[in-house]
Structure 1
Amino acid sequence: MKIEQYIVDAFAERIFEGNPAVICVLERWLPDELMQKIASENNLSETAFLVPTEDTYGLRWFTPNGEIDLCGHATMAATYVVTTYLDTGKTDIAFSTRSGRLTAISKGGIFYIELPAFCLTPVPPPASIVKAIGVEPVETFMGRDMLCVLPSAEDVKAVSPDLNEIASYDGLLFHITAKGEECDCVSRTFAPKCGVPEDAVCGSGHCHIVPYWSGKLRKAELTARQASPRGGTLHCRYANDKVILGGRCVLFSEAVIRL
């Protein structure tokens, strides 16, 4: 068996920027165990699997440690692969996923994906939060993930996290954010439970971050910057409990898996 595989940098203007995702194009679903082995072998934050159907593409996302329900940057990378290699000329894409039907469009070299927003519940910060990130949050929320709002953008950039401590917290991922200086907000994402110390640019994380800052800044449209070592810029819109994320994609490599 041969499987076409693409590595795409999402939310990137050039290679080695943004967040890399592996997109594997299948004729039909493989056994879950085999897809997990492929994801673990690739050892990037996400390996996504695409299966063409009549009017949509089936899409599933795997971290090195397991399958997850939603991933933004791999959905954007999948949109790039569909419009560039599988169905050239197509500008509107629908994906069938564990988070329901997701839609994406390609417009002028920018890819836009629409994702469900997570409801945020205020919670007390964990007792060990200062040990974990070195600073006391201004506010803490729980959605699918934990979101900590820090006093400043410099605080976000300076964090050197205790990943073992973070792995003990509730939620799947752990996000820190603050008001931006040259953009609306900055953030970083840590995912030790998924085998990913720091996610370079996290789309699903912005399904927490964008609703928060949209309400705080009273703006529907935001420019967000993920302040990871690779970095990435997201053009965001929040409306009707949906988060629309826009960004560019760059192909890093294409290969064939032989099974």
Structure 2
Amino acid sequence: MKMYITDAFAEKAFQGNPAAVCILDEERPDSWMGRVAAEMNLSETAFLLKKENGYSLRWFTPEAEVDLCGHATLASAHALWAELGETSEKLAFDTRSGILTAVRTEDGIELDFPLEPVQPCEAEPELLAALGLSTSPAYAGGNRMDRLVLLPDEESLTALKPDFSMLRNVPARGVIVTAPSSRPGIDFVSRCFYPGIGIDEDPVTGSAHCGLGPFWSERLGRSELTALQLSKRQGLLKLHVGSERIRIAGRAVTVLRGELA
């Protein structure tokens, strides 16, 4: 089976978020896919299987299967077009979050994902302590996947030093922390923490922007947004926020080609 490692939401190699993409030759057991993902030891490994009307797509972290993943979907589309010679102008992926699509645009590869709107909720003391915050944030909320915390500025976000062992106890997939950007051409910045599923800090998280997109669209009064995730590797995302869906665009680069024994 062919296997690729692709840096997603990256302009060049060794930026963005690396994902492994495994091209399946047949259905495989969940336990086998979990072991492959643990062996890859990346934030996500995507498993693609050709179907009559597109591809089935599943995503595994080193510790768990997840319901939605942006960067590994971008990596999968890139692998199909750039490495496997896929000729379809529009790719359809059958996933645990429904049918997701990918098309090529001037901004790279554009994904069509569901919105995951954030609703306000209390920032409990345990969450604040895990993030090292001494006072309540400007906003706290969450959606079906993640908690979200708003900080006043980019400098506060950059300086954040979470306690990952404490964050593992937050009852959510992970915690997104965001702030307005101080950089020209960037609307907002974020960092994303998922120690509960084996990823202390994710380099670039496409699915988090299903919540971040509508959150910032409402505050800024615009549907077209540019976002930067401030991990060590960093990643740039172009967003178009609709009423029920969000389009997330970015570039990808293949860094490894191989075969799985």
Shorter chain as denominator, the TM-score bin is over 0.9
Give the 3-state SS of the residue equivalent to 1:178 in structure 2: strand
Q: Hey, what does 2:195 align to over in structure 1?
A: 192
Question: 2:237 is matched by which residue type in structure 1?
Answer: L
Give the 3-state SS of the residue equivalent to 1:113 in structure 2: strand
Task: List per-residue Cα deviations over 1:211-247 (Å, max 9, x = no partner).
Answer: 1000010110000000000001000110022111111
Segment drifting more, 127-136 vs 65-74 = 127-136
1:257 CA displacement: 1.1
Which of 203, 210, 227 is the equivalent residue of 2:213? 210
C-alpha distance in structure 2 between counterparts of 1:129 and 1:36, whole Å: 29
C-alpha distance in structure 2 between counterparts of 1:211 and 1:119, whole Å: 6
1:108 CA displacement: 4.0
1:46-195 matched pairs, under 5 angstroms: 46-108=44-106, 110-135=108-133, 136-143=136-143, 144-182=145-183, 183-195=186-198
C-alpha distance in structure 2 between counterparts of 1:141 and 1:55, whole Å: 37
C-alpha distance in structure 2 between counterparts of 1:108 and 1:215, whole Å: 26
Are residues 130 and 166 of structure 1, via their aligned partners in 2, closer, same or farther at CA, if it must alter by over 3 Å? Answer: same
1:86 CA displacement: 2.7
Question: 2:92 is matched by which residue type in structure 1?
Answer: A
Question: 1:5 is matched by which residue type in structure 2?
Answer: M
8 Å CA contact 1:83–1:91 kept in 2: the answer is no
8 Å CA contact 1:11–1:232 kept in 2: the answer is yes
Q: Which runs of 5+ in 2 are unaligned?
A: none
Give the 3-state SS of the residue equivalent to 2:125 in structure 1: coil
C-alpha distance in structure 2 between counterparts of 1:111 and 1:53, whole Å: 21
User: TM-score, normalized by length of structure 1?
Assistant: 0.96
**Within the alignment, does 1:239 sit opposite 2:242 as a pair?**
yes
Give the 3-state SS of the residue equivalent to 2:225 in structure 1: strand
C-alpha distance in structure 1 between counterparts of 2:88 and 2:70, whole Å: 20
C-alpha distance in structure 1 between counterparts of 2:126 and 2:58, whole Å: 34
Structure 1 segments, 4+ long, off by >2 Å, are 85-91, 128-131
Give the RMSD, CA atoms, in angstroms.
Answer: 1.2
C-alpha distance in structure 2 between counterparts of 1:228 and 1:15, whole Å: 15
Segment drifting more, 41-50 vs 134-143 = 134-143
C-alpha distance in structure 2 between counterparts of 1:91 and 1:9, whole Å: 22
Task: List per-residue Cα deviations over 1:43-97 (Å, max 9, x = no partner).
Answer: 0000000001112110000000110110000000001011123343432110000
Give the 3-state SS of the residue equivalent to 1:128 in structure 2: helix
8 Å CA contact 1:126–1:169 kept in 2: the answer is no
1:134 CA displacement: 2.4
C-alpha distance in structure 1 between counterparts of 2:118 and 2:226, whole Å: 20
Segment drifting more, 128-137 vs 207-216 = 128-137
* Overall identity of the aligned pairs, in %: 39
Aligned length: 256
8 Å CA contact 1:72–1:202 kept in 2: the answer is yes
8 Å CA contact 1:21–1:44 kept in 2: the answer is yes
8 Å CA contact 1:91–1:107 kept in 2: the answer is no
Question: 1:106 is matched by which residue type in structure 2?
Answer: R
